[in-house]
Amino acid sequence: MKNSIQKIIFRYLSIENYLRLLQRLFFVMYRWGLLKNKKEYEYHYYIKNLINEGDVVIDIGANLGYYSILMSSWVGKSGVVYSVEPIALYNKIFNEKARKRKNIVLYPYALGKEEKDVTLVCSPNVGYLRTGLPHVYDSRRDGNIQTQEFTFDARMKIPSKLFSSIERLDYIKCDIEGFEYVVLSDMENIIDKFRPVVQVEVWGENEEPVKNLFKKLGYISHKLQDGLLTSDEEVIKKLSGDFLFIHTDSKSLS
Protein backbone atom coordinates (compact mmCIF):
# COMPACT_ATOMS: atom_id res chain seq x y z
CA MET A 1 0.00 0.00 0.00
CA LYS A 2 2.74 2.46 0.98
CA ASN A 3 4.68 1.76 -2.23
CA SER A 4 1.55 2.19 -4.35
CA ILE A 5 0.82 5.57 -2.76
CA GLN A 6 4.41 6.71 -3.32
CA LYS A 7 4.21 5.72 -6.99
CA ILE A 8 1.07 7.79 -7.45
CA ILE A 9 2.53 10.83 -5.68
CA PHE A 10 5.78 10.54 -7.63
CA ARG A 11 3.86 10.43 -10.90
CA TYR A 12 2.02 13.70 -10.27
CA LEU A 13 4.71 15.81 -8.57
CA SER A 14 8.01 17.07 -9.88
CA ILE A 15 10.90 15.10 -8.42
CA GLU A 16 11.95 18.07 -6.27
CA ASN A 17 8.47 18.53 -4.82
CA TYR A 18 8.21 14.80 -4.23
CA LEU A 19 11.42 14.93 -2.16
CA ARG A 20 10.24 18.03 -0.29
CA LEU A 21 7.01 16.26 0.59
CA LEU A 22 8.85 13.18 1.88
CA GLN A 23 11.10 15.33 4.04
CA ARG A 24 8.30 17.48 5.46
CA LEU A 25 6.10 14.49 6.22
CA PHE A 26 8.93 12.82 8.11
CA PHE A 27 9.62 15.78 10.39
CA VAL A 28 5.95 16.49 11.06
CA MET A 29 5.27 12.86 11.92
CA TYR A 30 8.47 12.63 13.99
CA ARG A 31 7.56 15.69 16.07
CA TRP A 32 4.09 14.31 16.70
CA GLY A 33 5.53 10.93 17.75
CA LEU A 34 3.68 9.13 14.97
CA LEU A 35 6.76 7.11 13.98
CA LYS A 36 7.72 5.85 17.44
CA ASN A 37 6.10 2.45 17.03
CA LYS A 38 7.46 1.85 13.53
CA LYS A 39 10.49 -0.44 13.46
CA GLU A 40 12.24 1.44 10.67
CA TYR A 41 12.36 4.64 12.75
CA GLU A 42 13.28 3.27 16.18
CA TYR A 43 16.88 4.46 15.93
CA HIS A 44 15.78 7.98 15.00
CA TYR A 45 14.25 8.21 18.46
CA TYR A 46 16.67 6.07 20.48
CA ILE A 47 20.04 7.55 19.56
CA LYS A 48 19.14 10.84 21.21
CA ASN A 49 20.28 8.97 24.34
CA LEU A 50 23.77 8.55 22.87
CA ILE A 51 24.40 12.05 21.49
CA ASN A 52 25.10 14.98 23.80
CA GLU A 53 25.41 18.74 23.54
CA GLY A 54 28.83 19.64 22.18
CA ASP A 55 29.34 16.33 20.38
CA VAL A 56 30.90 16.01 16.94
CA VAL A 57 28.96 13.71 14.63
CA ILE A 58 29.52 12.37 11.11
CA ASP A 59 26.42 11.32 9.14
CA ILE A 60 27.59 9.27 6.15
CA GLY A 61 24.74 8.86 3.69
CA ALA A 62 22.75 11.84 4.91
CA ASN A 63 19.95 11.47 2.35
CA LEU A 64 17.46 14.35 2.82
CA GLY A 65 18.86 15.17 6.26
CA TYR A 66 16.56 13.01 8.37
CA TYR A 67 19.25 12.11 10.90
CA SER A 68 21.47 15.16 10.42
CA ILE A 69 18.80 17.71 11.28
CA LEU A 70 17.81 15.79 14.41
CA MET A 71 21.45 15.45 15.41
CA SER A 72 21.95 19.17 14.84
CA SER A 73 19.38 19.88 17.54
CA TRP A 74 20.92 17.39 19.95
CA VAL A 75 24.55 18.59 19.66
CA GLY A 76 23.51 22.23 19.98
CA LYS A 77 25.49 25.35 19.13
CA SER A 78 28.71 23.97 20.62
CA GLY A 79 28.58 20.77 18.55
CA VAL A 80 28.85 20.03 14.85
CA VAL A 81 27.34 17.57 12.38
CA TYR A 82 29.35 16.67 9.28
CA SER A 83 26.81 15.44 6.74
CA VAL A 84 28.07 13.46 3.76
CA GLU A 85 25.68 13.09 0.81
CA PRO A 86 26.78 12.83 -2.84
CA ILE A 87 23.47 13.45 -4.63
CA ALA A 88 23.11 17.12 -5.57
CA LEU A 89 19.32 16.92 -5.81
CA TYR A 90 19.05 15.60 -2.26
CA ASN A 91 21.42 18.30 -1.05
CA LYS A 92 19.25 21.03 -2.54
CA ILE A 93 16.28 19.84 -0.48
CA PHE A 94 18.49 19.21 2.57
CA ASN A 95 19.92 22.74 2.41
CA GLU A 96 16.47 24.30 2.20
CA LYS A 97 15.70 22.76 5.58
CA ALA A 98 19.14 23.17 7.15
CA ARG A 99 20.26 26.59 5.88
CA LYS A 100 19.70 28.30 9.24
CA ARG A 101 21.57 25.60 11.16
CA LYS A 102 25.13 26.83 11.53
CA ASN A 103 26.32 23.58 13.11
CA ILE A 104 25.80 21.45 9.98
CA VAL A 105 28.66 21.11 7.47
CA LEU A 106 27.58 19.39 4.26
CA TYR A 107 30.12 17.48 2.18
CA PRO A 108 28.64 16.72 -1.29
CA TYR A 109 30.65 13.57 -1.93
CA ALA A 110 30.50 9.82 -2.18
CA LEU A 111 33.13 8.09 -0.05
CA GLY A 112 35.38 5.28 -1.22
CA LYS A 113 38.92 4.07 -1.96
CA GLU A 114 39.68 6.61 -4.69
CA GLU A 115 39.30 10.26 -5.58
CA LYS A 116 37.34 10.15 -8.83
CA ASP A 117 34.05 10.89 -10.56
CA VAL A 118 31.40 8.21 -10.08
CA THR A 119 27.81 7.47 -11.04
CA LEU A 120 25.19 6.42 -8.52
CA VAL A 121 22.17 4.36 -9.53
CA CYS A 122 18.98 3.31 -7.81
CA SER A 123 18.26 -0.40 -8.35
CA PRO A 124 15.85 -2.07 -8.70
CA ASN A 125 13.54 -0.04 -10.92
CA VAL A 126 10.25 0.33 -9.03
CA GLY A 127 8.56 3.28 -10.71
CA TYR A 128 9.55 5.94 -8.19
CA LEU A 129 12.67 7.20 -6.43
CA ARG A 130 13.43 5.30 -3.23
CA THR A 131 15.74 7.82 -1.65
CA GLY A 132 17.74 5.40 0.48
CA LEU A 133 18.79 3.06 -2.32
CA PRO A 134 21.20 4.99 -4.60
CA HIS A 135 24.66 3.41 -4.59
CA VAL A 136 27.86 3.59 -6.60
CA TYR A 137 27.27 1.89 -9.94
CA ASP A 138 28.83 -1.56 -10.39
CA SER A 139 28.27 -3.13 -13.81
CA ARG A 140 28.57 -6.66 -12.38
CA ARG A 141 25.80 -6.05 -9.86
CA ASP A 142 23.66 -3.47 -11.63
CA GLY A 143 23.90 -4.51 -15.28
CA ASN A 144 23.68 -2.05 -18.16
CA ILE A 145 23.70 1.53 -16.92
CA GLN A 146 21.34 2.50 -19.74
CA THR A 147 18.59 0.44 -18.10
CA GLN A 148 18.81 2.31 -14.79
CA GLU A 149 15.74 4.37 -13.94
CA PHE A 150 17.74 7.00 -12.02
CA THR A 151 21.39 7.97 -12.33
CA PHE A 152 23.32 10.65 -10.43
CA ASP A 153 26.82 11.97 -11.09
CA ALA A 154 29.02 12.60 -8.06
CA ARG A 155 32.58 13.05 -6.87
CA MET A 156 34.16 10.38 -4.68
CA LYS A 157 36.53 11.30 -1.85
CA ILE A 158 38.68 9.15 0.45
CA PRO A 159 37.19 9.46 3.96
CA SER A 160 40.46 9.27 5.89
CA LYS A 161 41.70 12.27 3.89
CA LEU A 162 38.42 14.18 4.10
CA PHE A 163 38.40 13.92 7.89
CA SER A 164 42.16 13.93 8.49
CA SER A 165 42.07 17.19 10.47
CA ILE A 166 39.10 16.35 12.69
CA GLU A 167 39.93 17.00 16.36
CA ARG A 168 37.01 15.24 18.03
CA LEU A 169 34.51 12.57 17.04
CA ASP A 170 31.72 11.19 19.21
CA TYR A 171 29.27 9.48 16.85
CA ILE A 172 29.18 8.11 13.31
CA LYS A 173 26.08 7.06 11.42
CA CYS A 174 26.85 5.14 8.22
CA ASP A 175 24.27 3.95 5.69
CA ILE A 176 25.71 3.78 2.19
CA GLU A 177 24.25 0.71 0.50
CA GLY A 178 27.08 -1.81 0.55
CA PHE A 179 30.06 0.55 0.86
CA GLU A 180 30.09 0.49 4.66
CA TYR A 181 33.12 -1.76 5.07
CA VAL A 182 35.12 0.09 2.41
CA VAL A 183 34.54 3.43 4.12
CA LEU A 184 34.79 2.37 7.77
CA SER A 185 37.95 0.32 7.24
CA ASP A 186 39.57 3.35 5.59
CA MET A 187 38.60 5.38 8.69
CA GLU A 188 40.02 2.73 11.05
CA ASN A 189 42.75 4.99 12.49
CA ILE A 190 40.30 7.84 13.09
CA ILE A 191 37.83 5.48 14.77
CA ASP A 192 40.56 3.92 16.90
CA LYS A 193 41.77 7.37 17.99
CA PHE A 194 38.41 8.82 19.06
CA ARG A 195 36.36 5.66 19.76
CA PRO A 196 33.00 7.12 18.69
CA VAL A 197 29.75 5.21 18.90
CA VAL A 198 29.14 3.89 15.36
CA GLN A 199 25.70 3.18 13.93
CA VAL A 200 25.80 1.07 10.76
CA GLU A 201 23.15 -0.37 8.51
CA VAL A 202 24.85 -3.48 7.17
CA TRP A 203 23.79 -6.95 6.05
CA GLY A 204 24.78 -9.81 3.76
CA GLU A 205 28.41 -10.25 2.75
CA ASN A 206 29.45 -6.97 4.40
CA GLU A 207 28.13 -7.84 7.86
CA GLU A 208 30.92 -10.11 9.11
CA PRO A 209 33.80 -7.92 7.84
CA VAL A 210 32.26 -4.86 9.54
CA LYS A 211 31.66 -6.76 12.80
CA ASN A 212 35.21 -8.15 12.75
CA LEU A 213 36.65 -4.68 12.14
CA PHE A 214 34.97 -3.29 15.23
CA LYS A 215 35.75 -6.34 17.34
CA LYS A 216 39.43 -5.83 16.51
CA LEU A 217 39.14 -2.21 17.67
CA GLY A 218 37.63 -3.18 21.02
CA TYR A 219 33.98 -2.58 20.25
CA ILE A 220 30.90 -4.57 21.28
CA SER A 221 28.03 -5.13 18.83
CA HIS A 222 24.56 -4.01 19.91
CA LYS A 223 21.07 -3.82 18.45
CA LEU A 224 17.77 -2.52 19.73
CA GLN A 225 15.29 -5.01 21.17
CA ASP A 226 11.99 -3.58 22.40
CA GLY A 227 13.56 -0.16 22.78
CA LEU A 228 16.60 -1.34 24.76
CA LEU A 229 20.15 -2.17 23.70
CA THR A 230 21.20 -5.81 23.69
CA SER A 231 24.65 -7.27 23.08
CA ASP A 232 23.47 -10.90 23.25
CA GLU A 233 24.84 -12.37 20.02
CA GLU A 234 22.12 -15.01 19.73
CA VAL A 235 19.43 -12.37 20.12
CA ILE A 236 21.15 -10.02 17.68
CA LYS A 237 21.14 -12.71 14.97
CA LYS A 238 17.33 -12.66 15.05
CA LEU A 239 16.96 -8.88 14.99
CA SER A 240 16.73 -6.56 12.00
CA GLY A 241 17.80 -2.93 12.10
CA ASP A 242 21.11 -1.14 12.44
CA PHE A 243 24.12 -2.25 14.44
CA LEU A 244 25.38 0.03 17.18
CA PHE A 245 29.07 -0.53 17.85
CA ILE A 246 30.09 0.82 21.25
CA HIS A 247 33.66 0.71 22.56
CA THR A 248 34.23 -1.17 25.80
CA ASP A 249 35.62 2.03 27.36
CA SER A 250 32.69 4.18 26.24
CA LYS A 251 30.58 6.07 28.77
CA SER A 252 27.57 5.02 26.68
CA LEU A 253 27.86 1.56 28.26
CA SER A 254 27.75 2.90 31.81
Please indicate whether residue 130 or residue 91 has the higher confidence score (pLDDT). 91
Mean pLDDT of all residues in 107-122 = 96
CA angle 123, 34, 237 (to 5 degrees): 55
Q: pLDDT tens for residues 25-58? A: 999 999 999 999 999 999 999 999 999 999 999 9
**Per-chain mean pLDDT for the chain:** 94
Q: pLDDT tens for residues 125-178? A: 667 788 888 889 888 888 888 888 899 999 999 999 999 999 999 999 999 988
Q: Measuring CA to CA, how many Å separate 101 from each of 62, 68, 71, 131, 147?
A: 15, 10, 11, 23, 39
Residues 124/99, Cβ–Cβ less than 8 Å: no
Return phi, psi of residue 204, to 5°: 60, -140
Residues 235/228, Cβ–Cβ less than 8 Å: no
Closest CA to 166 of 107, 218, 248, 120: 107
The pLDDT of residue 249 is above 50: yes
Determine the pLDDT at residue 11: 83
Please indicate whether residue 177 or residue 66 has the higher confidence score (pLDDT). 66
Mean pLDDT of all residues in 223-233 = 95
0.85 surpassed by pTM? yes
Determine the pLDDT at residue 1: 43
Determine the pLDDT at residue 233: 94
The pLDDT of residue 2 is above 70: no
Architecture label for domain 2-253:
3-Layer(aba) Sandwich (3.40)
Least confident of 75-79, 189-193, 225-229: 225-229
Determine the pLDDT at residue 25: 96
C-alpha–C-alpha distance, residues 51 and 172, integer Å: 10
